[in-house]
Structures are given as structure tokens and as C-alpha cells.
A = this chain, B = another copy of it.
Amino acid sequence: MALRRRRPEALGLAPGSITAVPGAPPAVIRVISYDADGVDERSVERVSDLKSIRERSTGVSWINVDGIGDPECLSQLGELFGLHALALEDVVNVHQRPKFEDYGNTDFVVLRMPSLRPQLDLEQVSVFVGDRFVITIQERPGDCFDFLRDRIRNGKGRIRRRDGAYLAYSVLDAIVETFYPVVEGYSDQLEEIESRVLANQTENVVAEVHAVRHDLRALRRAVGPTREVLSAMARADASDSQGDTHIFLRDCHDHAVQLMEALDTNRELASSLMDMHLSNVSMRMNEVMKVLTIIATIFMPLGFIAGLYGMNFDGGVSRWNMPELRWEYGYFFAIGAMALTAIGLVLFFRSKGWLGDGGHEDKHQSEATKGTPDAGRD
């Protein structure tokens, strides 16, 4: 799915060409420049304005671009900051898998930022990490960086005293953190479905589990490579710089590993739920068929007896011809034979355990599992 309509109008263009994405919002640029002493935050109309800001600033500049609908703006950014054309092409082709690329002077990172509005959306965030600047480019306005901006503004934590690599880490960490509530949401949904499946309710289970699995697959495709990106960045930072940003990146990598594990667990649970559901459905159908067949089987001999005494053998010709019909209590005899047959069959079925079985098992099962959904959770 992540492949649909890739570069539809870019077909045949030279590699590194930046094309307008039809319908994409225009670029809105905001810059936060800071060092240990102060913060300067402003909106920027033209890319060329960034030049003076960059020259004035002695600390780190965070340039945030919302909207990729303006190829011209991206080209100018590329020229100003020395970004590689292939990386810029990836910025507008928003179906990249998360990746980390080292272009010498700048690093290029692509991640996916999840949101539920209300359906799962995995917006591409492109991050360029340079010496004293970080550029983040998003598909649309609206992001998960407000907490981070507040930390910069308030000078809380160590961020104001650190370099661009730490800012890049903070951006990535904010994105990874955003996955937590999303993945938790799917865990909750699966648990809710689990409790319904364990209570033998079968409505909508197939479609809901199918939808959850679909989204889990998309999340796995986003988180899996993110894990590798963070591991590669931590390795690169540990060998290149003398700071300890790689410790923070390793921590962030740990979070991605944890998310991946949760996604794996959810996937297994989804698959196990589907199996239990199908087993439930088939159990239930079998139960229905069994009860109906038992009813039919009981009435079959009764109907036979009735049919027997509906025969027209002529009692006038011979006294051996159906003398029962002429007994005083013949009718009661027949009714009695029927009642005995029915009772006998019911007792036989019960002795075989075919009668009370279904309901019996259902009851036990749901009792036994009442405690399960909470069992062993931590």
C-alpha cells in the first residue's frame, strides 16, 4: 500500500528532480534558534531569510517546514544548506520507508509519525541533521513536537546546552514516543475483542481483527526500520563524536525495540484470536446442527409408529391384520409406545453426553475464562 501512486508525474525525470505534489499544502517555515543563553523563534516567509538568521545565530537552529507543496522552496533550502538532490526527492515522494543516510556534511533521516484521526495515519517526517542546524519537513501542519518546543523555550533539561545532534535525537525521540499511545490503543482494542471472543460473542470479530491486523502491519513497516535507523545513528554517533548523544540514541532504540515487541505480541494475539473465533463459530454451528439433528432423530421413530398404525391392512379379512387397531386401549398403547421411544432416546442421548454437552461446556468455559483477560498482565 505504501507504494501507491509513487512519482506519478515524475516518471522519466532525472534522479534527484523535485516535483510538486498535487494537493499538498504549501510550505510554512518556522525557525527556532537557541543556545544556552537564549531562544529566538520566528516564522519565515522566504527561504532566503534563513541565510541571515543562520549567520547571526551562534547556537543551534531548528528549521521546521510544514507542507511539501512548494518544490521551489525545497530547492532553495537544498542550495542554502547543501542538501543532496536525492534526499530532497525523497522528501516529496512521501512513501519512503524509515531510513538513515549519511551524505557527508549532513545526515538524512526519514521517519513516520503516527496519528489516529480517527484512522491510522503515518505521516512522513524528513529530518536533515547538520553541524549547527536541524531541518524537519512534514507532509502537513500538526505534529508531536510541542512538548519539545516548550522544553527549548523554557530551557528545561539539557537541550539548550547541547548541539544539533542532541536536537535531532530529541526530535526522533518525540516521534518514537508518539507511537506508544497508538500501539497501546490497538492493544486495548485486541483485549476488548479477546474478552468478547472468550465470552463466545462472534459479531464483527472477523472484520475487526482484519482491520487491526492491517494497521499492525503498517505500524510494523514503520517501526521495524525505525529501530534500525536508531541503531545505525547510535553507532555512527558513538564512533564519530566525543559526546554522549549515542547513549540517548541507544535509549531511544530500546524504545523502538519495545514497540516492535509489543507489535509482535499484538500480531500473535490477533492471529490467536482469529483462530479462537473460527473455532467458536464452528463449535456453535456444530452445536446448532447437533440439537436440530437430535430433534429430528427423536421424531423420526415417532413418525414411524404413527405411520405404522396409519396402514390400511384390512382387519375384516383376518384377525391378524393390525389387531391393535381394534384393541380397546390401542390408541393409548400407541401413544405409550411413542412416549417410551422418545424417553428412551432422550435417555440414550443423555447417557452419551450428547444433550447437555454443548451448553455445559459453554458455561464452564466462560466461567473458566472470566479471570483470564486480566491474568498475567503487568
Contact = CB atoms under 8 A, between A and B. Distances in A.
A120 B376 contact: yes
A7 interface: yes
Residues of A contacting B: mostly: helix
Contact of A158 (B14, B285, B328): B14
Contacts of A120: 375-376
Interface string A285-326: 110111011111101111110111111111101101110111
Nearest to A188: B4
Interface stretch (A20-28, A58-66, A209-217): A209-217
A378 to B, nearest CB: 5
Interface stretch (A35-43, A70-78, A92-100): A92-100
Contacts of A157: 13-17
A281 B279 CA distance: 10
A148 B15 CA distance: 11
A355 B240 CA distance: 70
A7, A96, A250, A301: which has the most chain B beta carbons within 10 Å? A301
Nearest to A218: B376
Interface residues of A, number: 136
Contacts of A327: 317-318, 321
A44 interface: no
Interface stretch (A48-56, A126-134, A363-371): A363-371
Interface string A90-123: 1000111101010100000000000000011111
Contacts of A283: 281
Interface in A131-152: 146-148, 150-151
3 A-B pairs with least C-beta separation:
A14-B157, A12-B147, A306-B307
Given A1-B187, A221-B261, A320-B329, 15 more contacts: A2-B265, A2-B378, A14-B158, A16-B157, A122-B378, A202-B361, A210-B276, A288-B293, A288-B354, A307-B307, A309-B313, A313-B324, A313-B325, A314-B315, A322-B331
